[in-house]
C-alpha cells in the first residue's frame, strides 16, 4: 500500500470540528525576529491539514504581515513530522454550507495559494517533514524554500482517481517539466535533494536553520518597495496562470473528487487496500 495521502486528510468524523472551540489554541502561531514574521503551522494532530480554521488563521496572519511596516519577509514553518498534508477531507466532505465549502474546496485552496503569491513580502518555507497533496501547492506558492533531510514529497493524486489540478498553478511554471510529468504520473516519493533539482524547493540542506540564515539576512537588507517590486517580477507568470486557469482547474478538481473512481480510490486508501484498478 502506498504512503499516499489524498488531496485532503481525514482526522475526524465528517461534520465535526474538534478544534473549533473559541478558546482553542491557535493553529497558526506568530513570532517576529528582526524583520521576519514567523508563522508556524501548529496542527500536528491532523498533520497540519488545511482545515477551515487553519486556512482562516493563515489568511489573517498573511494580511497582518502585509500591513506590518516592521516585516520584510515571512517565514512559514511547522510543528510535527508533516509540513502540510493537504485539505481536511472529513471537514470538506461534511461541509453543508456554502461558506465552509468555499474554504474547504478547490476554490478555497486557490484563494489561499494566490494570497501567498500576491503578498508584497517574500514568503520563505522551512520544511523538515512530509509534504503531500495541497501542501505541495502551499510550498510551491512560497518564493523561497529550504528542505531538510527528513523532508519527503509525493504527488499521489493519480493513485486515488484525482489530479494535482489547482496546485499546478504555482508548481508547473516553476518545476522542471520532465520531473513534473514523472512525479505527477507515478506518485513516487522523493526527497529534498530531488525536490531542489526539480525546482520544487530552492535548497536542500542537512540543517535548515543554517541554510536559511543567509536567505533571511539578504531579505532583511531589502527595502519594502524593492522587495515588493522584485517579487512582482518573479511571480507575474504564476499570477497570469491563476487569472487564466483558476475556474477551469477548480472545476476539474471538483469533478474528479465527485467521481466513482475517486470514491473507490479514497475508500481503498482508508481501508488500507489496493483500489480496484490496480493490476
pLDDT digits (tens, 9 = 90+) for 138-187: 999 999 999 999 999 999 999 999 999 999 999 999 999 999 999 999 99
Residue 266: band (very low, low, confident or very high) from pLDDT cuts 50, 70, 90:
confident
Residue 43 lies in a domain: yes
Other C-beta atoms within 10 Å of 93: how many? 15
Residue 15: band (very low, low, confident or very high) from pLDDT cuts 50, 70, 90:
very low
- SS3 state of residue 120: coil
Q: Which residues of 176-198 are buried (b: 16+ CB within 10 A; e: fewer)?
A: eeebbeebbeebebbebebbbeb
Residue 173 lies in a domain: yes
The more confident residue out of 90 and 250 is 250
Per the structure, the complete domain to which residue 178 belongs is given by 28-207+224-270
Residue 23: band (very low, low, confident or very high) from pLDDT cuts 50, 70, 90:
low
Contacts of 262 (CB under 8 A, 6+ apart): 160, 161, 162, 256
Q: Where are the beta strands (DSSP E) in 89-217?
A: 123-127, 130-132, 144-147, 152-154, 190-191, 203-204
Residue 238 lies in a domain: yes
pLDDT tens per residue across span 198-225: 999 999 999 999 999 999 999 999 999 9
Residue 16 lies in a domain: no
What is residue 90's predicted lDDT score, i.e. its pLDDT?
66
| Mean pLDDT, rounded, for 28-55 | 95
Length of the chain: 279
The more confident residue out of 2 and 62 is 62
Q: What is the CATH number of the domain that holds 74?
A: 3.90.226.10
Per-residue pLDDT at 103 exceeds 90: no
Residue 41 lies in a domain: yes
Q: What is the count of structural domains for the chain?
A: 1
Amino acid at each position: 500500500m502506498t504512503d499516499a495521502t489524498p488531496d485532503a486528510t481525514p482526522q475526524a468524523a465528517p461534520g465535526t470540528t474538534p478544534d473549533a472551540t473559541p478558546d482553542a489554541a491557535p493553529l497558526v502561531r506568530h513570532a517576529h525576529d528582526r524583520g521576519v514574521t514567523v508563522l508556524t503551522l501548529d496542527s500536528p494532530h491532523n498533520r497540519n491539514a488545511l482545515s477551515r480554521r487553519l486556512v482562516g488563521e493563515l489568511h489573517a496572519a498573511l494580511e497582518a504581515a502585509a500591513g506590518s511596516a516592521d516585516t520584510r519577509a515571512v517565514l512559514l514553518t511547522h510543528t510535527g513530522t508533516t509540513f502540510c498534508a493537504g485539505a481536511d477531507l472529513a471537514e470538506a466532505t461534511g461541509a453543508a454550507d456554502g461558506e465552509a465549502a468555499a474554504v474547504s474546496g478547490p476554490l478555497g485552496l486557490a484563494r489561499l495559494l494566490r494570497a501567498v503569491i500576491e503578498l508584497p513580502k517574500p514568503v520563505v518555507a522551512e520544511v523538515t517533514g512530509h509534504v503531500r497533496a495541497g501542501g505541495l501547492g502551499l510550498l510551491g506558492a512560497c518564493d523561497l524554500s529550504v528542505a531538510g533531510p527528513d523532508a519527503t514529497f509525493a504527488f499521489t493524486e493519480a493513485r486515488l482517481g484525482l489530479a494535482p489540478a489547482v496546485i499546478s498553478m504555482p508548481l508547473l511554471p516553476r518545476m522542471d517539466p520532465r520531473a513534473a510529468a514523472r512525479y505527477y504520473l507515478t506518485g513516487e516519493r522523493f526527497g529534498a535533494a530531488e525536490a531542489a533539482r526539480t525546482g520544487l524547493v530552492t535548497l536542500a540542506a542537512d540543517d535548515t536553520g543554517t541554510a536559511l540564515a543567509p536567505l533571511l539576512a539578504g531579505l532583511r537588507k531589502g527595502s519594502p518597495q524593492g522587495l515588493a517590486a522584485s517579487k512582482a517580477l518573479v511571480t507575474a507568470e504564476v499570477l497570469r496562470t491563476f487569472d487564466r486557469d483558476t475556474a477551469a482547474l477548480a472545476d476539474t478538481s471538483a469533478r474528479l473528487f465527485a467521481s466513482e473512481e475517486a470514491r473507490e480510490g479514497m475508500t481503498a486508501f482508508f481501508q488500507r487496500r489496493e483500489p480496484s484498478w490496480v493490476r
